[in-house]
Amino acid sequence: MSGETAKPSPGPVYLVGAGPGDPGLLTARALELIAEADVILYDRLIPSSALEGARPDAELLFVGKQGGGPSVPQDQTQELMIQRAQEGKSVLRLKGGDPFVFGRGGEEALALRELGIPFEIVPGVTAGVAASAYAGIPVTHRGLSTAVALITGATEKQAQPDWRALAAFPGTLVFYMGIGSLSQIAAGLIAAGRPARQPVAVVENGTLPRQRVLTATLADIAERAEQEQIKAPAITIVGEVAQLAGELEWRREGLLHGRTVAVTRARAQASGLARRLAELGAEVIQAPAIRIEPLPGPPLDPSPYDLICLTSPNGVDALFDRLAAGGRDARSLSGARIAAIGPGTAAALASHGIRADVVPPRFVAESLAQSLRDLKIERALIARAAEARDVLPDALRAQGAAVDVLPLYETVAQPLPQQTLQAAANADYITFTSSSTVRFFVQSAGRTAENAQGLLSPSTRIVSIGPVTSQTLRDHGLPPHVEAHPHDIDGLVEALLAQARGQADA
Ligand code: SAH
């Protein structure tokens, strides 16, 4: 190894709370740090979209519990964190809820302090308070409770709690990690003097679309939770405030409440669709079967063209990269008319300061070609994916234009873990937003067009974004149940909702 002198100064390490699950409860500071970090060590109970804003080259290390299995041991996690920090990387340790509330953040901070590695703590919204609030339960309430205690319910791992002290606590008791020991908790509290008729609420998957709230009394909560098969993560709220759950219930159940929807488009593009679906109450299964890879190429000089066609938001971003590579910006496009295939592409252009001159009424190449029919075009540039249909170039050439096709990016397969594939194949709905999502999803499942039939569960509804994707689906023996109108994300969400309403009425 080389000398000690070149060692970068480590840290700071950020110990950050990610909130209880609803991505809206991530703090502004957490989002800022996620966007900057070189390395992110994250737990299981963080919002599923929390890492979307991470740098594409960031190292993302999962250190939580896999399924019901064992967690990465705490000392191994700390070792990783310290090692990366000592390499001079900016390290973010992202935890569910608040890092200092049953999050072992204190231990990690002590280990860092011991080694002289600077750290910063970013508090998070803790589950005990947030899940209560999402269930309509104020943990303190004038006249009902003047104090709140946060308690670990993981009794088996440590000495029996002091039931007498807990029962005598003058306020609300909020138990974390208590589902496995609910009957001991209830019995312990009753034996030590809490009234058996005291209200109790259990909030499972608090703040998430699949949140469930169960209210009962100390006497029967354990039995009820067993009946309802309540599972972790859940918090248990013991106290008079729990009776407000019914009265203050405020979350509207979205139309897709309780439904699972698989999203197969590239992770980088899926966030808008995933967020819309989650807002409607769906549980979103991210199954990105494709990934967008920019193609290398020389800087672009757009001056020879009097028409430039963009066929996707990816193409727009890549086009501006190629312009920038030659020291150019949006001004260099002033000599050309700009056509966008649909509103998503037009919006991507707008974010670069360009208003598209042409957006066709239907968002497919045929419609764009139609919209350009009456223009006098000498030389056109079509900036697009490596693999795409030739409808547009052919149509423009037929109009007498010289056409250059510039492949800017390619869509490549993103292998999916077995677990993800299975979840997607059994979802209530699966969405396909391009032909490549169909092809690569099928490929990822180890199938081909010939034997893709039966890949999805018979109850899974297939939602297609438009006619081209639908044809690809049919070619794979997976005819869509619904097709979006218009052929964009809004249309897709609408189509899915219509299908869900239809099923609800049926
Ligand atoms: N640091 C976290 C708690 C980690 S301990 C925080 O501040 O919230 C893990 C326990 O937190 C779970 O067993 C469960 O009791 C609780 N928990 C975490 N997320 C939850 C959620 N979305 N809904 C209900 N309880 C949750």
The string of pLDDT tens digits covering residues 370-382 is 999 988 999 999 9
The string of pLDDT tens digits covering residues 391-422 is 999 999 999 999 999 999 998 888 888 888 99
Regarding the domain delimited by 129-244, which CATH topology (the fold level of the hierarchy) does it fall under?
Answer: 3.30.950
CB of 111 within 6 A of ligand 1: the answer is no
98 CA to middle of ligand 1, Å?
9
224-237: average pLDDT: 96
Active-site amino acid positions: 43, 65
Q: Atom 25, ligand 1: which residue's CA is nearest?
A: 234
Sign of the CA dihedral running 56, 59, 65, 67: positive
Q: How many CB atoms are located within 10 Å of the residue 139 CB?
A: 21
The model's confidence at residue 505, banded by pLDDT at 50, 70 and 90, is: low
d(CA 98, CA 113): 20
The model's confidence at residue 5, banded by pLDDT at 50, 70 and 90, is: low
The model's confidence at residue 440, banded by pLDDT at 50, 70 and 90, is: very high
Name the residue of 98, 185, 235 to mutate for ligand 1: max ligand atoms within 8 A of Cβ. 235
Per the prediction, the chain carries an average pLDDT of 92
Q: Atom 19, ligand 1: which residue's CA is nearest?
A: 20
Name the residue of 176, 177, 179 to mutate for ligand 1: max ligand atoms within 8 A of Cβ. 176
Ordered strands of the 172-176 beta sheet: 148-152, 172-176, 234-238, 199-204, 212-217
d(CA 352, CA 308): 15
Phi, psi of 410 (to 5 degrees): -130, 155
pTM above 0.85, yes or no: no
CB of 96 within 6 A of ligand 1: the answer is yes
- pLDDT reported for residue 137: 98
Assigned CATH for 260-289+414-505: 3.40.50.10090
CB of 98 within 6 A of ligand 1: the answer is yes
The answer for residues whose C-beta is within 8 angstroms of residue 262's C-beta and 6 or more apart is 284, 285, 287, 423, 424, 425, 427, 429, 430, 431
* Token couple for 70: 């064992």
Pick 293-413's CATH classification: 3.40.1160.10, 3.10.450.230, 3.40.50.10090, 3.30.420.40: 3.40.50.10090
The string of pLDDT tens digits covering residues 465-476 is 999 999 999 999
Phi, psi of 251 (to 5 degrees): -80, 125
Assigned CATH for 13-125: 3.40.1010.10
The model's confidence at residue 2, banded by pLDDT at 50, 70 and 90, is: very low
- pLDDT reported for residue 245: 95
57 CA to middle of ligand 1, Å?
30
The string of pLDDT tens digits covering residues 448-465 is 999 998 899 999 999 999
19 CA to middle of ligand 1, Å?
9
CB of 19 within 6 A of ligand 1: the answer is no
Q: Domain locations in the chain?
A: 13-125, 129-244, 260-289+414-505, 293-413
The string of pLDDT tens digits covering residues 10-66 is 879 999 999 999 989 999 999 999 999 999 999 988 987 788 888 878 999 988 876
233 CA to middle of ligand 1, Å?
6
Domains 13-125 and 260-289+414-505 agree in fold: no
- pLDDT reported for residue 3: 47
The model's confidence at residue 365, banded by pLDDT at 50, 70 and 90, is: confident
- pLDDT reported for residue 26: 96
The model's confidence at residue 103, banded by pLDDT at 50, 70 and 90, is: very high
Q: Is it the case that residue 69 has pLDDT exceeding 80?
A: no
242 CA to middle of ligand 1, Å?
18
CB of 20 within 6 A of ligand 1: the answer is yes
